[in-house]
């Protein structure tokens, strides 16, 4: 009678048995109905894994992630608010007054895209796309894994980059304008280093908060958030639209696939216009965000590039079984947005090998059809021509006479 003991149709997300279930078109994203007759018809005694769990089951499987996200968010916010750890030295001008590094003397401007806006765009735009895709995908676990994976990427990338900002940092292009250094006049130098042209922040007379911020330029938080969110969306769209797959997709899918990356590049590029970051700050943030996007996507989906599996969300404590042939009895065969070339059906798109992992035998829907034809042919019980040498399918070629176009080989 307890909260977590509620009797319900869906499989417990923490169950450790092998994934198995039925194949059917799901009535909605939040469906929990159990179709026992279909399961019995195919000899399977378990429900489809692609069903919505109870709140208790979902919370039990996700509570550790929720706690981890809260802890990481608190750590990231604390480090973000802390003062820069190092005492960085910087040159100002030579004896005759010329600026040593004019690339740090740009004026301070307002941000074209504030950091809060970049973070919101990197989170809300992908989530909106996840929800739109549910028009066809209709899978609770798909939208759950996509959203949680996106949060993995954004939060971990943000904490990673704020630690680098805090412990390493760098000078923003408008540093000298914010620092407003006060150097003794008439050639009297009080700096250090070669010819005493190096100083620290003790000569700055500007606002302390602005100075702290201008000392933490590398890596860019804007580009980290943008690439962490939009690269994750890129991988999701590739999986759902099957852009890099086993058929020739329409051009609009390629445009839709790279639109998120264009958005990330525009957010990062805008930082060079408002002089908030150097190009290498933006590049470092893009690399960090991209790495965490790839890592997070692979944690919640069965593959990144293998088009046979990259649309399938992974479940807690339930291993996904890889292999050639039709999709496993887990109910995720329809978890794609595209319906071209058989995708979205149980058998379409799962047969055959992906690039670089094809075996030395023909494995595809055609090979499967040939095998079925052989099984139905007379004399197939003897096993003749069932398999060729070393696992290759061997098809007997013989002429057919009487065709209006002459003789054909089959």
Beta-bridged to residue 181, according to DSSP, are 204
Q: What is the pLDDT of residues 217-249, one digit of tens each?
A: 899 999 999 999 999 999 999 999 999 988 899
As given in the structure block, the two tokens for residue 224 are: 């980290």
Average pLDDT, the chain: 76
In a domain, 113, yes or no: yes
pLDDT score of 22 more than 50: no
In a domain, 399, yes or no: no
pLDDT score of 165 more than 80: yes
Asked if residue 268 lies in contact with residue 132, where contact means CB atoms within 8 angstroms, the answer is no
Residue 298's contacts (CB-CB under 8 Å, 6 or more residues apart) are 304
In a domain, 150, yes or no: yes
- What are the Cα distances from residue 43, in Å, to 40, 256, 374, 404? 5, 41, 25, 47
In a domain, 384, yes or no: no
Q: From CA 329, how far away is CA 24, in angstroms rounded?
A: 10
pLDDT score of 17 more than 90: no
In a domain, 175, yes or no: yes
Per-residue 3-state assignment (H helix, E strand, C coil) for 161-216: HHHHHHHCCECCCCHHHHHCECCCCCCCCCCECHHHCEECHHHECCCHHHHHHHCE
In a domain, 300, yes or no: no
DSSP 403: E
Q: Which single residue is written with the structure tokens 């000298």?
A: 176
As given in the structure block, the two tokens for residue 314 are: 């992974």
Q: Which single residue is written with the structure tokens 């090998």?
A: 353
Peptide bond into 219 cis (omega under 30): yes
Lowest mean pLDDT among 94-103, 211-220, 222-231: 94-103
Average pLDDT over residues 371-399: 47
Q: How high is the pLDDT of residue 189?
A: 53
Residue 268's contacts (CB-CB under 8 Å, 6 or more residues apart) are 220, 222, 223, 226, 227, 282, 285, 286
Q: Which residues constitute the domain of residue 194?
A: 55-240+249-292
Q: What is the pLDDT of residues 3-12, one digit of tens each?
A: 334 344 454 5
- What are the Cα distances from residue 15, in Å, to 12, 45, 211, 272, 322? 5, 15, 53, 51, 19
pLDDT score of 266 more than 70: yes
In a domain, 266, yes or no: yes
Q: From CA 92, how far away is CA 49, in angstroms rounded?
A: 64
Which is higher by pLDDT, 375 or 398? 375
Q: To the nearest 10°, report the CA torsion of 197, 200, 205, 206.
A: 110
First to last CA, the chain: 65
Q: From CA 247, how far away is CA 240, in angstroms rounded?
A: 14
Q: For residue 271, what is the enclosing H or E element?
A: helix 251-273
pLDDT score of 404 more than 80: no
Q: From CA 21, how far away is CA 332, in angstroms rounded?
A: 10
Q: From CA 261, how far away is CA 257, in angstroms rounded?
A: 8
Q: What is the pLDDT of residues 323-371, one digit of tens each?
A: 766 665 567 776 777 777 677 776 666 555 666 665 544 444 444 444 5
For residues 357-391, one letter each, b for 16 or more C-beta atoms within 10 angstroms of the residue's C-beta and e for the rest, the string is eeeebbbebebbeeeeebeeeeeeeeeeeeeeeee
Residue 321's contacts (CB-CB under 8 Å, 6 or more residues apart) are 18, 19, 328
Q: From CA 92, how far away is CA 183, in angstroms rounded?
A: 9
pLDDT score of 184 more than 50: yes
**Total structural domains in the chain?**
1
Lowest mean pLDDT among 65-69, 105-109, 120-124: 105-109
In a domain, 347, yes or no: no
- What are the Cα distances from residue 350, in Å, to 135, 215, 306, 341, 354? 22, 52, 11, 11, 10
Q: How high is the pLDDT of residue 371?
A: 52
pTM of the model: 0.75
Q: From CA 45, how far away is CA 49, in angstroms rounded?
A: 12
């Amino acid at each position: 009678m307890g909260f977590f003991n509620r009797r319900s149709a869906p499989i417990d997300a923490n169950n450790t048995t092998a994934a198995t279930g039925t194949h059917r078109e799901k009535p909605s994203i939040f469906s929990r109905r159990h179709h026992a007759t279909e399961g019995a018809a195919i000899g399977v005694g378990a429900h489809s894994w692609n069903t919505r769990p109870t709140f208790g089951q979902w919370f039990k499987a996700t509570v550790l992630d929720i706690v981890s996200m809260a802890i990481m968010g608190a750590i990231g916010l604390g480090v973000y608010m802390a003062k820069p750890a190092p005492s960085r030295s910087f040159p100002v001008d030579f004896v005759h007054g010329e600026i040593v590094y004019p690339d740090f003397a740009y004026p301070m401007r307002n941000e074209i895209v504030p950091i809060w806006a970049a973070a919101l765009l990197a989170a809300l735009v992908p989530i909106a796309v996840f929800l739109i895709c549910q028009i066809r995908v209709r899978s609770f676990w798909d939208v759950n894994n996509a959203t949680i994976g996106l949060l993995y990427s954004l939060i971990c990338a943000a904490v990673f980059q704020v630690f680098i900002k805090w412990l390493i940092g760098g000078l923003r292009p408008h540093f000298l304008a914010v620092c407003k250094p006060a150097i003794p006049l008439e050639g009297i130098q009080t700096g250090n280093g070669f010819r005493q042209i190096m100083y620290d922040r003790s000569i700055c007379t500007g606002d302390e908060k602005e100075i702290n911020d201008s000392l933490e330029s590398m890596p860019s938080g804007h580009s980290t958030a943008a690439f962490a969110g939009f690269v994750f969306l890129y991988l999701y769209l590739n999986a759902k639209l099957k852009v890099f797959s086993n058929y020739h997709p329409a051009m609009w899918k390629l445009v839709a696939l790279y639109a998120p990356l264009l958005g990330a590049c525009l957010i990062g590029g805008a930082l060079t216009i408002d002089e908030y970051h150097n190009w290498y700050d933006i590049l470092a943030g893009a690399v960090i965000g991209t790495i965490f996007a790839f890592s997070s996507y692979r944690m919640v989906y069965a593959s990144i590039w293998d088009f046979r599996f990259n649309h399938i969300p992974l479940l807690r404590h339930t291993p996904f079984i890889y292999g050639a042939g039709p999709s496993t009895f887990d109910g995720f065969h329809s978890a794609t947005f595209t319906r071209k070339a058989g995708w979205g059906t149980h058998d379409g798109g799962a047969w055959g090998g992906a690039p670089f992992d094809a075996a030395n035998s023909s494995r595809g829907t055609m090979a499967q059809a040939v095998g079925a034809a052989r099984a139905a042919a007379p004399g197939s019980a003897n096993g003749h021509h069932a398999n060729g040498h070393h696992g290759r399918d061997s098809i007997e070629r013989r002429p057919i006479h009487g065709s209006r176009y002459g003789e054909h080989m089959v």
